[in-house]
A and B are shown apart, each in its own frame.
Chain A
Amino acid sequence: MTRERAVTLTRIAWIAGFVVLLEAVCRLHLVNPLTLIPPSEMATTLWGMLASGEIAGDIARTFSTVAIAVVLAVAIGFTLGVAIHALPRVRQGLDPLLASYYSIPTFVFYPLFVAIFGLNSVPLIVLGMAFGVPAMILATLNGLDRVPRVLMRTARSYRLGRLATLAHVVMPSALPYLLTGVKLALAYAFIGIIAGEFILADAGLGHAIAYAYDGFENRTMYALMLFVLVVVTGLNMTLHAWEGRLMRRRARA
C-alpha cells in the first residue's frame, strides 16, 4: 500500500514537474509565445471557455459520437471475436491482416464512407470504430484463448449449456482482457474521431481545434488540446485502475 502510494506520488510529482518546467520555459520566453503558451494560461483559457459554455456543443457532439462508436466497436468486435475464435482456420488467415491493419490511415476512406452512409455523422462514427473493432477482436480472441481448459471442463461437469457456459464461465474469465479491449476501443475512438473532426467535420472538439489552429488562435487551440488530453487521460486512468484491480484480484500468488 505504501509502495503504491509512493508510486502514485512520484508519478504526480513527475507530471507536475513537467508542467512546471513547461511553465518556466514559456514564462522565460525560451520558446516563442506565439507557438507555445504556458500551461497556466491554457488552463485559465479553458476554464473560461467551459464556464461560458461556448464549447458545450462541440463537447456534446464529440462525446456522443465517441460513445456511439465505442459501444458499437465493443459489440461488433466482441461478436466477431467470438465467431473468429470458433473458426481457427479463418483466424490463421486473419492474423497478419489484423496486425497490419493499424498502418492504414483509415480516414482516407472517408469518401467511401460518405458514399455508403451518407453525409452525416455516421462516417465519423465508422472512423471512430475503425481501429476499435480490430482491437476488440484481438482482445476477445486473447481473452477466449486464456480461458483455462479446466474451467471449460468444470462447466461441463456441472452440465451447463452453451449459453450458461458463455455467461457464467467464459465471459467472467475473459473479462480483464475484454476490458483491455474496451480501453483500447475508447482510446482509438477518441483518436479516430478527433482526427476525423480535425480534417473533415464542421463541429466537434477536433474541428474546434483545427479551426483555432487555422485561425492562429493559439490560446483556444491549446486550451482545447489540454481539455482533450485531460479527458482522455482521465478516462484512460479510470479504466486502467479498474483493470488493475480486476487483474490484481485474480493474479495468482
Chain B
Amino acid sequence: EAPARAETITVTHWGSAFYGAPYAVALEKGFFKKRGLDITGFLTSAGGGTSVRNTLAGEVPFGEVALPAAILAIQSGQPIKIISGGVESVEDILWITQPDGKVGSLADLKGKKVAYTAPGSVTNMIILNCLQKAGLEQKDLQLVAAGDLGANLSAVLNRAVDAAMSGEPLWSGNQGKVKAAFWAKDCMNPALTQTVGITTAEFAKTGGDKLRALIEARREGVAYIKAHPDEAADIVAKAYSGDPKIFREVFKHFVGFEYFGDGRLHYDNMNRMLDGMKLVGRLKGPVEWGQVVDTSFLPKDLQASQ
C-alpha cells in the first residue's frame, strides 16, 4: 500500500485515562506504519460529546469515544456508526476516602458527602448502582459532581468530601495518601463497554481500508500489552509523560481483568451501559443495535461478536 499522509485520529482522554494505551503501543511498535497508516498524533478532549464532535470534524473521522456519547449522538441524528469495541471494564473504578476516612464500605455511605465526576457520566451510573446495592435513596446522602479524577482526588485530600470517585492511574499513584472505600465491582457487574470505535457514515463508505487497518493495529496493540505489560507500561508512560513505575503497577491490574477489549462488540456489556444511561436519565429512547453498529470493518474472526 502507498504510505498515507500524516494523520490524526481522536482518542478520548488521551494522556489522562488509559483508553489510548493500545494506540500508544501501536504507534511505538509500528503497527500503524506496517499497515500503511501514518498516524502522527491523537486528538483528545475531556468530554464525551466533545470527542464525538472532534471525530466528526477530524481529518480521519475515526475515534475511540465514550459509548454513551456515541449513542446520544446517533439518537440525535448524527450520521455515525459504531464499528468496534474498546475498553470493556470498569474494574479499575473505585471510591476513595482519607486514610482515617469514615467510609469503609458501601454501608457507611448514609449521610455522607460523596463526589463523582459529572451528571450523566459513567461514574454517576456506578454510584447510583452502589446506592441501590446498599439500599439507600439519593436523599440519604449528599452526592456532588466534582469534575474530573484530579478534582475528585483533591476533594478527598482537602477533606471537602468524605469519599470521591477514582481510577487509574491516580489510584496507583496515590496509595497511602488515600484508601479505598468501595469498588465499582462491589455494586455491579464491572464488564461494561466504556468506549467504542466510531466513524461517520460517509467515511464508512470510502475509508473502509483505513478503518480496518486502524482496528487491526489497535488489536495488535492490545495483544502486545497482554504479552508484555511492563514494556507496554513504559511506552505509555513515555507517551503520557507519566511515572513508569506506577504505570507498570496499573498495567498489571489491567491485564488481570481484561481491561482492553480486542475490538469485538460485547452486546451484554453494551446493554449494561444502556441500563446505566436509563438509570441516570440520559437515554432518549430504545436502541436497536442493528441500526447503530457496522461490524464490517472488524477482522473476520471478531465479526461474530456476542
List chain A positions with a Cβ less than 8 A from chain B.
34, 110-111, 114-115, 118-119, 199-202, 207, 210-211, 213-218
Contacts and interface: CB of A to CB of B under 8 A. Distances in A.
A216 B147 contact: no
Given A114-B160, A119-B161, A215 B144 contact: no
A217 B119 CA distance: 15
A115 B72 contact: no
Contacts of B77: 34
Contacts of B155: 114, 119
Q: Pick the most buried of A115, A118, A119: most chain B CB atoms within 10 A of its CB.
A: A119
Contacts of A114: 146, 151, 154-155, 158, 160
Interface string B135-172: 00000000011110011001101101100000000000
Contacts of A119: 113, 115, 144, 146, 155, 160-161
Interface string B74-115: 011111000000000000000000000000000000000101
Nearest to B144: A119
B118 interface: yes
15 contacts: A34-B77, A114-B160, A115-B157, A119-B115, A199-B147, A200-B145, A200-B147, A202-B144, A207-B119, A210-B47, A214-B48, A214-B69, A214-B72, A216-B52, A217-B72
Contact of B158 (A34, A115, A213): A115
Nearest to B120: A211
A215 B282 contact: yes
Contact of A111 (B49, B78, B144, B150): B150
Given A34-B78, A214-B48, 13 more contacts: A34-B76, A111-B151, A111-B154, A114-B151, A115-B154, A115-B158, A119-B113, A119-B146, A200-B145, A200-B151, A213-B49, A215-B282, A218-B76
B17 interface: no
Contacts of A34: 76-79
A216 B160 contact: no
A80 B275 CA distance: 54
Best-surrounded residue of A201, A213, A214 (most CB of chain B within 10 A):
A214
B101 to A, nearest CB: 15
A214 B50 contact: yes
A34 B113 CA distance: 39
A201 B47 CA distance: 14
B48 A201 contact: no
Contacts of A210: 47
Contacts of B47: 210, 213-214
Contacts of B160: 114-115, 118-119
Contacts of A217: 72, 76
A110 B154 CA distance: 10
Contacts of B282: 215
Interface of B: 47-50, 52, 69, 72-73, 75-79, 113, 115, 118-120, 144-147, 150-151, 154-155, 157-158, 160-161, 282
A199 B118 CA distance: 9
A32 to B, nearest CB: 9
A119 B154 CA distance: 10
Given A114-B158, A200-B151, A216 B73 contact: yes
Contacts of B161: 119
Closest 5 interchain pairs by CB? Answer: A202-B145, A214-B49, A216-B76, A119-B160, A115-B158
A114 B147 CA distance: 11
Nearest to B282: A215
Contacts of A214: 47-50, 69, 72, 120
Nearest to A200: B147
A29 to B, nearest CB: 14
A110 B144 CA distance: 15
A210 B53 CA distance: 13
Contacts of A211: 119-120
Contacts of B48: 214
Contacts of B72: 214-217
A215 B120 contact: yes
Q: Which of B47, B49, B157 has the most chain A CB within a 10 Å cutoff?
A: B49
Contact of B75 (A118, A199, A216): A216
A216 B49 contact: yes
B207 to A, nearest CB: 19
Nearest to A119: B160
B230 to A, nearest CB: 32
A212 B286 CA distance: 19
A67 to B, nearest CB: 22
Nearest to A118: B160
Contacts of B158: 114-115, 118
Contacts of A202: 118-119, 144-145
Nearest to A33: B77
Contacts of A215: 49, 72, 76, 120, 282
